[in-house]
Structure 1
Amino acid sequence: MDELAITVIGPDRTGIVADVAEALAGVGANLTDSTMTRLRGHFTMTLICTGPSLSSAEAALGSLRGVVTSVSSVAPEPDKSDGGEPYVVSVHGADRLGIVAAVTRVVAAAGGNITDLSTRLSGTLYVLIAEVDVPAGASDELAEQLAVAAAELGVEVTLRRAESEIL
């Protein structure tokens, strides 16, 4: 069975999610993973689905007006033996260049894997929330390195263990 990665972006409007979901359901696509959000007046989705061929998914989405789509075949996710321990990194502070780069570099250097990341700018306040898998025993060192990065950036950074029910 084909597994597809699909992206859709366009001006936000009522019904965009329903239109995309109906178009894909019409060609037998089962949406397995997705993330959808509004970004400064634009709506964007990233979906993983199984079922349809690449060409039938492209044709179904091609009938939608006012959106840009991309469809690619992807390999199924390999079984992972140890994904690490789930943590949440949150950053709050004045907007400035390089916050995402600095924080994600610290996480990567500690061997952490970012599984979800969102940012939002509200006036001059910048907020970053990331779900990360941290190697067992690496959280204390990661917290220390995040504190160093926070001081250099002039922002507040917290690292807390995530409750699996929340994720």
Structure 2
Amino acid sequence: MEELAITVIGQDRPGIVADVAGVLAELGANLTDSTMTRLRGHFAMTLVCTGPAAADVEAALDPLAARSRLLATVRSVGTEESAAPTGEPYVLSVHGADRLGIVAAVTRVVADAGGNITDLTTRLAGPLYVLVAEVELPPGSAGATESRLNEAAAGLGVDVVLRRAESDVL
């Protein structure tokens, strides 16, 4: 069995997740990690599974992709060396008027602090832009990171909140 990374994107419609999961189940592939969402009418899925060779999975997904006008990619990936968190878990939220550079500025602060973004979602709801991210920060760095985030947020005209998260909630 190989560990595979699979992406599926295309115009959203009911049943895509069921169709893809069905093909994978028929092949004996076990889904281990996945994320799926709808982005302005488009479907996007990324998943990691263990299963047969990448070429076999790709061949099995090809008819579904052609029939549903989806783009499906499959590639073999190495197993994760360490699943242990590298820092302390935090939830970062940003909201305010939409403007260019919010994601770039906020994620740069986290990266410069030595933090790792483990999940990030953004939504534009009318004029309101919302970003929510799960991040791991090096122990003891949250105070300084929060100060730098507040400086970046002030320059962008948005509000930012950084709060400690319990790892079992994430």
TM-score of the superposition, structure 2-length normalised? Answer: 0.95
1:126-141 equivalences in 2 (<5 Å): 126-141=129-144
Partners of 1:80 and 1:49 lie apart in 2 by 15
Q: Is the 8 A contact 2:85 2:136 kept in 1?
A: no
Say which SS state the counterpart of residue 104 (structure 1) adopts: helix
Partners of 2:168 and 2:141 lie apart in 1 by 22
Letter of the structure 2 residue corresponding to residue 10 of structure 1:
G
Structural RMSD (CA): 1.0
Partners of 1:124 and 1:61 lie apart in 2 by 38
How many percent identity over aligned positions?
A: 68
Task: Identify unmatched segments of 5+ residues in structure 2.
Answer: none
Letter of the structure 1 residue corresponding to residue 102 of structure 2:
I
Partners of 1:55 and 1:81 lie apart in 2 by 31
Letter of the structure 1 residue corresponding to residue 38 of structure 2:
R
TM-score of the superposition, structure 1-length normalised? Answer: 0.97
Partners of 1:90 and 1:30 lie apart in 2 by 33
Q: Identify the residue that residue 49 of structure 2 maps to in structure 1.
A: 49
1:95-134 equivalences in 2 (<5 Å): 95-134=98-137
Instruction: Please report how far the alpha carbon of residue 80 of structure 1 lies from its aligned counterpart in structure 2 after TM superposition.
Output: 5.2
Aligned length: 167
Letter of the structure 2 residue corresponding to residue 37 of structure 1:
T
Q: C-alpha offsets along residues 86-143 of structure 1, whole Å, 9 cap, x if unaligned?
A: 0000000000000000000000000000000000001110000000011100000110
Say which SS state the counterpart of residue 27 (structure 2) adopts: coil
Task: Identify unmatched segments of 5+ residues in structure 1.
Answer: none
Q: Identify the residue that residue 38 of structure 1 maps to in structure 2.
A: 38
Runs of 4+ in 1 over 6 A off after TM superposition: none
Distance 1:13 1:76, change over 3 A: same
Name whichever structure is richer in helix by fraction.
2
Distance 1:81 1:121, change over 3 A: closer
* Counterpart among 153, 158, 164 of residue 155 in structure 1: 158
Partners of 1:120 and 1:81 lie apart in 2 by 29
Partners of 1:81 and 1:22 lie apart in 2 by 31
Q: Identify the residue that residue 4 of structure 1 maps to in structure 2.
A: 4
Partners of 1:100 and 1:8 lie apart in 2 by 24
Letter of the structure 1 residue corresponding to residue 106 of structure 2:
V
